[in-house]
């Protein structure tokens, strides 16, 4: 499939806008997981501005596609995508992590419009997404469920309980996107605990696998198109990504796992992201 | 009390089938223990509404949560109480209680009776764990009659509930006129000298003890608390003021369960001497049911003994005060 250049450009711009929001939110909150939020910005743009069947004016629409951010610590990327898509005002993004904010450090489905499941304790989101997919089949609904999984997160045993179960029930309405950014809190993912061979593991668990560069919009949307059409098995899109993608001094640096940028660093990052920053930020 | 005996796990399985005939939104998830938890009865009646999750309790809780987000399904996630509350504790807390999803968690094999499986399968801390979880309701029915009504109440309530079932046959103490009232304790006998507060299958045993004590001239009040959370504070405060002394009885650890809850409530407003009968901070063991209940003091005989000692203390205290 050949995608229109306009479509690709639009999504790239959205991903860039999401990245800028991430920097602003985390810097302003003086806390948050910068690296792992930046690595899923392109994936979020592709979900919210390409594949999802949703209605931001009616976040509870019962036939909507579901999204679960199993790696809940990347919440700023999700909030930014939701705000860009019109679920709530963009100005609200700067309340992230503040007391009484609807935008918690980790996603809270009862606080934030558009958040379909609370998450934060790793390994749990994929099971909830599987429940949503199983419910869709039971209720004869056609919605799809997308779940973003961290690479380090797959060290949790529950992920493999869910992997086994989704394949057992042949849930082809469940699509996992693995944010394979190769880093986790304390170091390189495969040094902390080797998760390779990733593709083969999911295949022997009974999954359809697709491997892509998670920063190339055309690859992401092609993979999503293929995944939603695939029948008889759940699909995992293994997206090779770069932690901290888009900001030179953050890329592939483990220390940016949970480090907020200072105001000066944020300025530099935003400049890199071609941000026309306002005076005084 | 009549002579009928039935296990509350069986009553639960039957009640679920009865409810599911009217309520199409009820589904069941079980982790390969359906014949033990009695959801096998449900599977027979509604195979398309029964979801086998295999021996993977953590995933099961998450799947139930995901189903409940649709607000069109009421999932009953059923397994042994030890696994529901300890192995899958974080999943129940974060995926169910925190988002306040409408999942009913059913812990079977509460307390001592496990069919001689021993410590690994005996849930002595489940009530304590679930009671500490925000948004969680904790219900511990006394008999089959109450269990059936509790299942109905669980379905009618929109939110997470922990319901405790027992493996062994236990006496039926309530008749067909009994009405389960959400969050309300049941005064089985009024009395002025001392109050016994019991829950679950210890209530039939407490009832026997009460009758023995009445024969001895002790005016015992007996309160059954089927709901441990939220707890009926009023009934406890009234008992504390009017009878002075409290004995709690539970098929559970004395830490954090019924005894813990009663002590917390009363020590803040109407402190009195409280004796807690239950499992005394130990892991369990295999053995005959009768033998284990005797060993841990969960018998009418021991309840009578504890109450008698308390009455002696009461008399001593009043003679000092004079």
> Averaged over A136-150, what is the pLDDT?
98
In angstroms, how far is CA B217 from the centroid of its own chain?
30
Do the Cβ atoms of B253 and B279 come closer than 8 Å?
A: yes
CA distance B50 to chain A (A): 11
Beta bridge partners of B89: none
Per-residue tokens: B34: 């359906």
On the question of pLDDT at B319 being above 90, the answer is no
**Domain residue ranges of chain A, discontinuous segments joined by +:** 5-272
| Residues in Cβ contact with B307 at an 8 Å cutoff, skipping those fewer than 6 apart | B194, B196, B209, B213, B218, B220, B247
Per-residue tokens: B147: 């269990």
Do the Cβ atoms of B258 and B248 come closer than 8 Å?
A: yes
- Mutant choice from A127, A140, A145, A174 vs B, greatest count of B C-beta within 10 A: A127
C-alpha distances (whole Å) from A255 to each of A34, A100, A188, B7, B68 are 10, 29, 11, 57, 38
Q: Distance (Å, rounded) from C-alpha A116 to C-alpha B293? A: 47
Per-residue tokens: A254: 């483990």
| Residues in Cβ contact with B238 at an 8 Å cutoff, skipping those fewer than 6 apart | none
- Mutant choice from A107, A108, A128 vs B, greatest count of B C-beta within 10 A: A128
Q: Left (φ > 0), alpha (ψ -120 to 50) or beta: where does B122 sit?
A: beta
Three-state DSSP at A183 gives strand
CA distance A177 to chain B (A): 18
Per-residue tokens: A225: 């198109």
In angstroms, how far is CA B47 from the centroid of its own chain?
29
Per-residue tokens: A163: 């992997």
Per-residue tokens: B157: 């309530």
More confident position, B64 or B319: B64
Contact across the interface for A118 and B95, Cβ inside 8 Å: yes
Q: Left (φ > 0), alpha (ψ -120 to 50) or beta: where does A39 sit?
A: alpha
Per-residue model confidence as pLDDT tens digits over A20-38: 999 999 999 999 999 999 9
Contact across the interface for A128 and B70, Cβ inside 8 Å: no
Closest of A74, A102, A205, A157 to residue B90, by C-alpha: A157
Looking at residue B2, its pLDDT comes to 54
CATH class for the region spanning B5-171: alpha beta
Q: Which helix (H) or strand (E) holds B19?
A: helix B8-22
- Under the banding of pLDDT at 50, 70 and 90, the label for residue B314 is confident
- Under the banding of pLDDT at 50, 70 and 90, the label for residue B205 is very high
- Under the banding of pLDDT at 50, 70 and 90, the label for residue A276 is very low
CB-CB neighbors (< 8 A) of B158 in chain A: none
Pairing label, strands B5-7, B169-171: antiparallel
Per-residue model confidence as pLDDT tens digits over B157-167: 999 999 999 99
Per-residue tokens: A170: 């042949």
Q: Distance (Å, rounded) from C-alpha A273 to C-alpha A276? A: 9
Q: Distance (Å, rounded) from C-alpha A15 to C-alpha B60? A: 35
CATH number of B186-321: 3.40.50.920
Per-residue tokens: B89: 């504790």
**Core vs surface per residue B172-187: b (16+ CB within 10 A) or e:** bbbeeebebeebebbe
Please identify every residue of B annotated as catalytic: 57
Q: Left (φ > 0), alpha (ψ -120 to 50) or beta: where does A30 sit?
A: left
Closest of A111, A230, A108, A246 to residue A176, by C-alpha: A230
**Domain residue ranges of chain B, discontinuous segments joined by +:** 5-171, 186-321
Find tokens 């295949």 and name the residue.
Answer: A203
Residue-by-residue DSSP string for B46-92 = -GGGEEE--S-HHHHHHHHHHHHTTSS-EEEEEEEHHIIIIITHHHI
In angstroms, how far is CA B259 from the centroid of its own chain?
12
> Averaged over B101-124, what is the pLDDT?
97
On the question of pLDDT at A277 being above 70, the answer is no
Per-residue tokens: B177: 């006129």
Residues belonging to chain B: 322
Three-state DSSP at B320 gives helix
Per-residue model confidence as pLDDT tens digits over B39-71: 999 999 999 999 999 999 999 999 999 999 999
Closest of B97, B83, B183, B166 to residue B125, by C-alpha: B83
C-alpha distances (whole Å) from B226 to each of B13, B124, B142, B216 are 18, 17, 7, 28
Whole-number average pLDDT of chain A: 96
CA distance A130 to chain B (A): 6
Per-residue tokens: B40: 């096998």
Interface check B64 vs A, CB under 8 A: yes
CB-CB neighbors (< 8 A) of A126 in chain B: 62
For B58, the closest chain A residue by CA position comes to A158
Looking at residue B321, its pLDDT comes to 60
On the question of pLDDT at B1 being above 70, the answer is no
Q: Distance (Å, rounded) from C-alpha B300 to C-alpha A249? A: 72
Per-residue model confidence as pLDDT tens digits over B150-190: 999 999 999 999 999 999 999 999 999 999 999 999 999 99
Helices H / strands E in chain B, number of each: 13, 14
Q: Distance (Å, rounded) from C-alpha B253 to C-alpha B246? A: 17
CB-CB neighbors (< 8 A) of B69 in chain A: 66, 109, 116-117, 128, 131-132, 135
CATH class for the region spanning A5-272: alpha beta
Interface check B46 vs A, CB under 8 A: no
Q: Distance (Å, rounded) from C-alpha A193 to C-alpha B291? A: 48
Per-residue model confidence as pLDDT tens digits over A77-112: 999 999 999 999 999 999 999 999 999 999 999 999
Per-residue model confidence as pLDDT tens digits over A44-77: 999 999 999 999 999 999 999 999 999 999 999 9
- Under the banding of pLDDT at 50, 70 and 90, the label for residue A281 is very low
Contact across the interface for A162 and B72, Cβ inside 8 Å: no
Closest of A270, A222, A228, A257 to residue A22, by C-alpha: A270
Tell me whether domains B5-171 and B186-321 share a fold: yes
- A158: nearest CB among B59, B70, B98: B59
Q: Which helix (H) or strand (E) holds B7?
A: strand B5-7
- Under the banding of pLDDT at 50, 70 and 90, the label for residue A195 is very high
């Amino acid at each position: 499939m050949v995608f229109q250049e306009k479509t690709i450009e639009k999504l790239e711009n959205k991903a860039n806008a999401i990245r800028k929001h991430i920097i602003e939110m985390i810097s302003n909150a003086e806390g948050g997981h910068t690296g792992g939020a930046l690595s899923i910005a392109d994936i979020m743009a592709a979900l919210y501005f390409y594949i999802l069947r949703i209605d931001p004016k009616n976040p509870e629409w019962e036939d909507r596609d579901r999204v679960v951010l199993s790696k809940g610590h990347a919440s700023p990327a999700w909030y930014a995508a939701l705000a860009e898509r019109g679920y709530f005002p963009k100005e609200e993004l700067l309340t992230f992590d503040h007391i009484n904010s609807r935008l918690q450090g980790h996603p809270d489905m009862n606080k934030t419009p558009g958040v379909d499941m609370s998450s934060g304790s790793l390994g749990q989101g994929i099971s909830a997404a599987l429940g949503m997919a199983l419910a869709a089949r039971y209720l004869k609904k056609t919605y799809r469920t997308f779940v973003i999984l961290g690479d380090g997160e797959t060290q949790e045993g529950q992920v493999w309980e869910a992997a086994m179960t989704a394949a057992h029930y042949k849930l082809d309405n469940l699509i996992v996107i693995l944010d394979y950014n190769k880093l986790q809190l304390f170091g390189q993912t495969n040094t902390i605990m080797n998760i390779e061979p990733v593709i083969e593991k999911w295949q022997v668990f009974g999954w359809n696998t697709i491997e892509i560069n998670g920063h190339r919009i055309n690859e992401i949307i092609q993979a999503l198109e293929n995944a939603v059409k695939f029948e008889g098995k759940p699909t995992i899109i293994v997206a090779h990504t770069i932690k901290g993608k888009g900001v030179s001094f953050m890329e592939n640096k483990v220390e940016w796992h949970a480090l907020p940028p200072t105001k000066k660093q944020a300025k530099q990052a935003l400049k890199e992201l071609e941000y026309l920053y306002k005076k005084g930020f | 009390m009549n002579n009928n005996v039935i296990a509350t796990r069986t009553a639960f399985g039957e009640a679920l089938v009865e409810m599911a005939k009217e309520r199409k939104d009820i589904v069941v998830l079980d982790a390969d223990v359906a014949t033990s938890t009695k959801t096998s009865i449900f599977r027979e009646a509604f195979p398309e509404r029964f979801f086998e999750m295999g021996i993977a309790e953590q995933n099961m809780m998450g799947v139930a949560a995901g189903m409940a987000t649709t607000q069109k399904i009421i999932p009953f996630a059923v397994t042994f109480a030890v696994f529901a509350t300890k192995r899958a504790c974080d999943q129940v807390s974060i995926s169910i209680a925190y988002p306040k999803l409408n999942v009913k968690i059913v812990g079977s094999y509460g307390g001592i009776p496990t069919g001689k499986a021993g410590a690994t399968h005996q849930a002595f801390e489940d009530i304590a764990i679930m009671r500490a979880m925000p948004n969680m309701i904790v219900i511990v029915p006394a008999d089959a009659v109450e269990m059936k009504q509790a299942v109905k109440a669980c379905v009618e309530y929109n939110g997470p509930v922990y319901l405790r079932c027992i493996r062994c046959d236990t006496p039926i103490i309530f008749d067909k006129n009994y009405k389960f009232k959400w969050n309300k304790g049941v005064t089985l006998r009024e009395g002025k000298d001392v109050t016994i507060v019991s829950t679950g299958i210890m209530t039939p045993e407490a009832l026997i003890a009460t009758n023995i004590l009445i024969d001895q001239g002790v005016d015992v009040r007996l309160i059954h608390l089927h709901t441990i959370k939220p707890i009926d504070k009023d009934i406890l405060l009234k008992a504390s003021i009017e009878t002075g002394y409290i004995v709690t009885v539970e098929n559970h650890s004395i830490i954090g369960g019924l005894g813990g809850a009663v002590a917390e409530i009363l020590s803040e407003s109407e402190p009195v001497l409280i004796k807690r009968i239950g499992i005394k901070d130990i892991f369990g063991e295999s053995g005959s049911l009768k033998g284990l209940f005797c060993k841990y003091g969960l018998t009418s005989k021991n309840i009578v003994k504890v109450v008698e000692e308390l009455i002696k203390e009461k008399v001593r205290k009043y003679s000092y005060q004079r």
